[in-house]
Amino acid sequence: MQKLTKRIVEATLPQDKDLILWDSEISGFMCKVTPTGKKSYFLYYRTQDKRQRRPKIGDHGVITSEQARSVAQRWLLEIGQGKDPSAEKQEVRLIPTVKELADQYMREHAPRKKLSSQKEDKRLWEQFILPVFGPLKATSLERSDIAKLHHSLQHLPTTANRVLSLLSKALNLAELWGYRPNHSNPCLHVKKYSENKRERFLSHDEIGRLIAVLDEEEKETHIPWPLHAIRLLLLTGCRLNEVLTLKWEEVDFDNQCLRLRDSKTGKKLVYLSSAAIDLLKAIPEEAENSFVICGGKEGAHLINLQKPWQRIRKKVGLDDVRLHDLRHTFASIAASNGLSLPIIGALLGHKQTQTTARYAHLIGQPLIEASERIGRKIMGG
């Protein structure tokens, strides 16, 4: 037995079976030489309850004999304090990497969300998070790591905020699943970027031109479904997918509403104007199709409205208007006619009041007009 040094370890030749070189200075410190010539450092010890342990310190060449000796000394000190370095190493091995955490998130949590949200989560993991954090242990992420990734996406503020939200949720789940200590989420206090919401509302004149073009197109086409869909978007304030997947069984003419079984926010009631009711009554029901807006395939709904919309908006002169802006237009008309934010939120099916708050500035005009009328009355006008 002699002190393990670089010279001693490297001079030892492999034998037919494992060869153990014990260190003469540190009890339990050894180097194993396999028949293939691989040389690795270990520490043999017994825990306080007399269990035998032999955790690996590292391979010779990756660490030096002096580095291995230093680790062995530190471990012996911890053992004297009642700790078990081998068990702690095992616990670290059981902690998932961020890639494994992402897999568990997509397997156990994502299925609770809408399919479109699942696809978006998968895209954010694969495109932005895993290339940076994938191999790291879920416990090793620190606030500086999160802040650095968030900052690297500052040119895409909306995406940066979505990545931050996804990571925050996943790391909260890591606490729930026992991988991180409670209240240790490193996303806390990382401030989101301001997002410039794009708001485009059609004016009264633009709405008139759009309706005129839709009427003109209907006279010239044998496939009116895209035109019906665009009118419904404008008259109901529904989201695109809500209109495209609308079934006749969800249309309640008697109570003047749509009873959507599924939407972005779950089950939803959409109250209809007389104009929307008249439009729905004018749309023919196809015998073999349960959808209001029929698609090209038998029994299917229309899948994509982008091509006909691009053609129509160009004809109207609305090149900067998206289909979703028809929903904004519905809400802006409601606000400019004095409806309260809670009423507008209910019409649109918003779950959070801050989503409706973007239309708050439009409510001011009818209030100004009302105040003006009162002022004139007071002054005897």
Cα–Cα distance, 189 to 303 (Å, whole number): 41
Round to whole Å and give the CA distance between 64 and 71. Answer: 11
Residues whose CB falls within 8 Å of the CB of residue 111, separated by 6 or more in sequence, listed in order:
118
Question: What CATH architecture does domain 98-176 belong to?
Answer: Orthogonal Bundle (1.10)
**Domain spans, the chain:** 6-94, 98-176, 204-372
Q: How far, in whole angstroms, is CA 28 from its chain's centroid? A: 50
Q: What's the pTM value of the predicted model, to 2 decimals?
A: 0.56
Burial class (CB in 10 A: 0-12, 13-18, 19+), 112: exposed
In terms of C-beta density within 10 A (0-12 exposed, 13-18 middle, 19 or more buried), how is residue 381 classed?
exposed
Q: Note whether 6-94 and 98-176 share their fold.
A: no
Total count of residues recorded for the chain: 381
Q: What are the structure tokens assigned to 285, written together?
A: 């029901």
- Alpha helices (H) along the chain: 6-11, 65-80, 85-94, 98-104, 115-124, 130-133, 143-152, 157-176, 204-220, 225-236, 240-244, 274-282, 306-316, 324-336, 341-348, 353-356, 360-378
CA nearest to 238, candidates 123, 349, 161, 371: 349
Sheet containing strand 268-271, edge to edge, reads: 251-252, 257-260, 268-271
Report the CATH fold assignment for 204-372: hpI Integrase; Chain A (1.10.443)
Name the fold adopted by 6-94.
Double Stranded RNA Binding Domain (3.30.160)
Residue 265 tokens read as 């926010």
d(CA 119, CA 136): 23
* Contact criterion met (CB below 8 Å) for 251 and 292: yes
User: How deeply is 236 buried, as exposed, middle or buried, from its count of CB atoms within 10 A (0-12, 13-18, 19+)?
Assistant: buried
DSSP-derived letter for residue 81 is T
Residue-level pLDDT, tens digit, the chain, 381 residues: 889 999 999 999 999 999 999 999 999 999 999 999 999 999 999 888 788 888 888 999 989 999 999 999 988 988 888 888 776 666 555 678 999 999 999 999 999 888 888 999 999 999 999 999 999 988 889 999 999 999 999 999 999 999 999 999 999 999 998 888 889 999 999 999 987 666 788 999 999 999 999 999 998 888 899 999 999 999 998 989 999 999 999 999 999 989 988 877 778 888 888 999 999 999 999 888 999 999 988 889 999 899 999 999 999 999 989 999 998 888 888 888 877 778 878 788 777 776 776 776 666 666 666 667 766 766 665
How deeply is 80 buried, as exposed, middle or buried, from its count of CB atoms within 10 A (0-12, 13-18, 19+)? exposed
Residue 59 parent element (H or E): strand 56-59
- Do 56 and 41 contact (CB within 8 A), yes or no? yes
d(CA 251, CA 228): 15
User: What is the number of other CB atoms lying within 10 angstroms of the CB of residue 361?
Assistant: 11
